[in-house]
Amino acid sequence: MSGRSKGTRAVFLDRDGVLTEVRTRRVCYVNQPEDVHLLPGAAEAVAGLHEAGYKVFIVTNQGGVGLGHMSLEDLAAVHERLEALLAESGAYIDEIAACTHRPRAGCPCRKPQPGMLLELASRHGINLAQSYMVGDMASDIRAGQAAGTMTVHIASRKGRPAGAPAAELTAGSLLEAAVLIIRRLASGEPAAQTEHS
């Protein structure tokens, strides 16, 4: 096995707008368990990625905790509900990482900084060059690129987010993104490019 292919592949997912509804008619922000509604095909996408050999992680900015809009207990309850909904469809998340600092606290874990991805990769033996960051915001794409992953922009909103760099792939939903990722793996397309590739 070559050094380039060592390590486990992973898909890092933003939470709101990728897995769960946000700013829809029935939910504005996901601050309580009752606010958790999976987007269509989300559970199927997660299960399919696992079946293809990827670990699946959530990396989410939750500055509402630092701002006092929700507690750590509320956040834990939200994630418990999310995992329960996924489990109903036979899907699961390997680990959830959340940055709970205030938006302008300058911490290295809040996206667009890559801290959450790097920490998960270190602990789980993830090959970042063979992995993907999937998100709907510019901060998600920047975090993935800073960590050295390939990136997928979920373009469920109109166009590319303001200031977002171009992602390798664009999809209309997480399910579509999973199909693209799995097809790319099957076709043997190259991993993320680095200065030394």
Just give the CATH number of 3-187: 3.40.50.1000
Q: Which of 35-49, 62-76, 148-162 is predicted least confidently? A: 148-162
| Rounded Cα distance, 80 and 119, in Å | 22
Q: Is the pLDDT of residue 111 over 70?
A: yes
Q: Calculate the dihedral angle through the C-alpha atoms of 61, 66, 71, 75, rounding to the nearest 10 degrees.
A: 10
Around 60, how many Cα atoms within 13 Å sit in the side-chain half-sphere? 22
Pairing between β-strand 55-61 and β-strand 169-171 as defined by DSSP bridges:
unpaired
Which residues are part of the catalytic machinery? 14, 16
Q: For 8-53, write each residue's pLDDT tens digit.
A: 999 999 999 999 998 888 888 898 999 999 999 999 999 999 999 9
The verdict on pTM exceeding 0.75 is yes
Cα separation, 166 vs 69, whole angstroms: 32
Contact criterion met (CB below 8 Å) for 44 and 89: yes
At 114-148, the pLDDT tens digits run 999 999 999 999 999 999 999 999 999 999 999 99
| pLDDT score, position 25 | 84
> Which tokens belong to 53?
């050999």
**Confidence label for 156 from pLDDT (cuts 50, 70 and 90):** low
pLDDT on residue 65: 86
Complete DSSP assignment for 70-103? S-HHHHHHHHHHHHHHHHTTT---SEEEEE-S-T
Band of the pLDDT at 195, cuts 50, 70, 90?
Answer: very low
From 63, 115, 117, select the one nearest 95 (Cα to Cα): 117
pLDDT for 157 beyond 60: no
pLDDT on residue 197: 36
Q: What is the mean pLDDT of the segment spanning 2-11?
A: 70
- Report the C-alpha gap between 197 and 194 in whole angstroms: 5
Which tokens belong to 22? 């946000």
Could you state, in order of their start, the residue ranges of all structural domains in the chain?
Answer: 3-187
